[in-house]
Chain A
Amino acid sequence: MHENTDGAAPTVQQLTFNLAGEEYGVDILSVREIRGWSRVTRIPQTPDHLLGVLNLRGAIVPIMDLRLRFGLERESYGDSTVVIIVAVAERLFGIVVDAVSDVVDIDPSAIKPVPDMGAVVDTRYLKGLATHVERMVMLLDVDKLMRPEDVETLDAALPHVREVEVAA
């Protein structure tokens, strides 16, 4: 897998899924499995988008609703609702999405940075935008999805520092 991506054909494979009419992509190397929706155990003292935990072959894995994470309206879970289990640095978590659509090859050089869309869209969790067969795919930055709240608060409190770094 790594040889492929590092070698002559430097494409990255993305698993694409639908969320509120938009198409998103997540690096297939971080996807562990895809499963149907099943009831989770709620955890107290957690943000709304964290639905709870479920038992994944003995591991207690947190599940988040991506719609809620993006500040969208919550949708009732149906037959096509799926949970994508992803791994970030050995830690597993699941994201609930509307439906899984495809696995596509994307040329990394064709990935465009996310434009600043102001406060309308939360672009914090996106790595970039890519085009696949005339469609726009928003590439998810899974590393950032599951970061503890305090890290995010800290990030939000330090915008100036970041700008300075970029300028330097």
Chain B
Amino acid sequence: MGAVDLTQFHKTFFEESLEGLDAMEAALLALDSGSTDHELVHTIFRAAHSIKGGAATFGFAEVAAFTHVAESLLEEVRSERRGVDGELIDLLLRSVDCLRAMLDHTSHGLPAADADSEALRGELVRLVSGEAAPAPAATTAAAASVDGWAIRFVALPHLLQTGNDPLRLFRELQQLGRLDVCRAFVVDAAPTQLAELDPGQCWLGWELRLHGAVARAEVAAVFDWVEGDCELAIEPIAPAASAAPVAPVAVAPPVAAPAASAPRPVRETAAASSEGSSIRVGIDKVDALINMMGELVITQSMLSDIGEHFHPSQLERLREGLLQLERNTRELQESVMRIRMLPIGSVFNRFPRLVRDLERKLGKQVKLELHGEHTELDKTVLEKIGDPLVHLVRNAIDHGLESPEQRRAAGKNETGTLRLDAYHEGGNIVVQISDDGAGLNRAAIVAKAEQRGLIRPGQEVDDAEVAELIFQPGFSTAAQATDLSGRGVGMDVVRRNVRDLGGSVGVRSQSGKGSVFTIALPLTLAIIDGLVTAVGEERYIVPLISIVESLRLRPEMVRKIAGGGEVFHFRNEYLPIMRLHRAFGCNAAITEIERGIVVVVEEEGRRVGLLVDDLLGQQQAVVKSLEAHYQRVQGISGATILSDGSVALIVDVCGVVRLGQRSKAA
């Protein structure tokens, strides 16, 4: 063991610990909302315990020390010596935050503990030792009146198969105090014939004596992981004088079920929250891939069979085989893509906590409803949608929902409802954030827009335009800027983030009834639908999502304006013409506007006409990054490979528009 380099497991430890903290948080919130499920306490306890164990193993003493105190507190809760109240949950939630920060520091090689964590640890210690639960308090120092513990530990035959090692347990005990083995024995039920002995089974038992002022909880904690896999009795060794025997306490599992089902919630959150560089893939998805692969191999062998002894009469079979190949390839592609898809629940999971904190801070009452957590999104999209969603949720609670008094006055339930929905619609994933609050404050928005010069005073604006105004940069109507929202960087950032993901965001609002923010996201970033255009010798792909229309202009439709710009009339507005060959410096392109084709694209609410030579057709493009081997190029969002093996660049409409503005300004 000594030769094993533990650092290779650090990453796993951090990942699993963060997952454990997520599970703790989720369980704490469930307790907070009034759930009395005892299993929740177990989940919290187990998570804390495994973080402590891991941290100690890897030598992260500060993390281990902190978790140890938290665990002692949890042990009191678990053994029902301490009730659960809001204060306790608050403290534990703060401990979860603190542990997250400590793990973050540790993973970056920084000292884990700081003033905050020490203060919090102090608070925990005071709570554990101060208000002192009866009997032995948990800290080593506080434990008195016992000289040590007599432990009888009998392994059940399957103990080793659960991955537990008695030696490891004893080593852990040794760390608590001096450990003597009084007797090691073979269980009566053990097979007597050597031939019947299965080396995978353990038929041994031990009687141990642990000397020192150690809390019973600490001793029991060592055996947490073998609950149900052993017979255990822990009795105090009384000081020589008063030898009052205490009834043995069996730590055998109260019921088998919780022990078996306990790790599951942790696992589920784990699958949902792994935002790191690895993906946990459900075995069903892998099986589907293997199935698909099998089909592909069959098709391939069939085709090579035809190819080897080809005869024109087999043409029909060949065609069939090729069709099958195409189908297999498409299915394979879909299954591979599905591997990258993760449930949006991992993002939704963070909201109960956020909402709880905001409720307290703002003095509002919010009921959070989550729907469609199982809707799957591409991992990349998922990682980037979190912040915009957090922003929208904060906004909804801060600006949207009214205070209980206001709600009562408006004849509504004092508790506001915030609902998060995720579902498929067409080729998109739609995420909706709806609240039953006051809706957009039209008057305030219009006043603010006038003040900012976004609209003329007295200008008529319809509801859609009002909704559009809140997405303008630097727009915020919050009367007082809280630290939650209303700093003036807001909805425009949300919109830009969503746009970067190839999606769109909009809002519908009804005064007094609430607002609904709708985010539409593409299923995946890896493939886009694009229009292949020709400019000179080059091929450029314009994302279909940003195309409004393509048209051929007549010379009289084009107007030159001062400064050399060109505009044309399109649906009641004048749009600038952007010559793609000029922006990208292409040779041999068509320069007469009437001979080329103008593709009208819309981005960030602005429309421009892109002049290209010709349209070559529509194609699904697998997006490849230019940055992988080169660097970011303005006006280009990536590259793709055409059917002839050559590379075509994908136009970044936003970037091209900006390019155009810059060249005009220059």
Contacts and interface: CB of A to CB of B under 8 A. Distances in A.
Interface of A: 39-46, 52-55, 58-62, 91-93, 146, 148
A42 B586 contact: yes
A58 B538 CA distance: 19
A61 B647 CA distance: 10
A41 B624 contact: no
B472 interface: no
Given A59-B624, A60-B639, A44 B585 contact: yes
Given A42-B538, A60-B639, A91-B629, 8 more contacts: A39-B646, A41-B539, A41-B647, A42-B584, A42-B586, A43-B649, A59-B629, A62-B630
A53 B647 contact: yes
A55 B645 contact: yes
B41 interface: no
Interface string B532-570: 000000110000000000000000000000000000000
Interface in B633-660: 633-636, 639, 641, 645-649, 659
A160 B585 CA distance: 37
Bin chain B's interface residue count.
Answer: 20 to 34
B584 A55 contact: no
A93 B629 contact: yes
B328 interface: no
B643 to A, nearest CB: 12
A58 B622 CA distance: 10
Contact of A148 (B539, B628, B631): B631
Contacts of B641: 55, 58
Contacts of B584: 42, 44
B633 A61 contact: no
A61 B631 contact: no
A88 B634 CA distance: 23
Contacts of B631: 148
Interface of B: 538-539, 583-586, 624-626, 628-631, 633-636, 639, 641, 645-649, 659
A53 B538 contact: no
A62 B629 CA distance: 7
Contacts of A41: 538-539, 639, 646-649
B634 A45 contact: yes
The residue in B583, B626, B636, B647 that gathers the most chain A C-beta atoms within 10 A of its C-beta is: B647
A58 B526 CA distance: 14
Contact of A53 (B630, B635, B659): B630
A55 B649 CA distance: 12
A54 B636 contact: no
B583 A91 contact: no
A41 B539 CA distance: 9
A60 B585 contact: no
A44 B633 contact: yes
Contact of B647 (A44, A54, A91, A148): A54
Contacts of A44: 583-585, 633, 635-636
A55 B624 CA distance: 10
A55 B633 contact: no
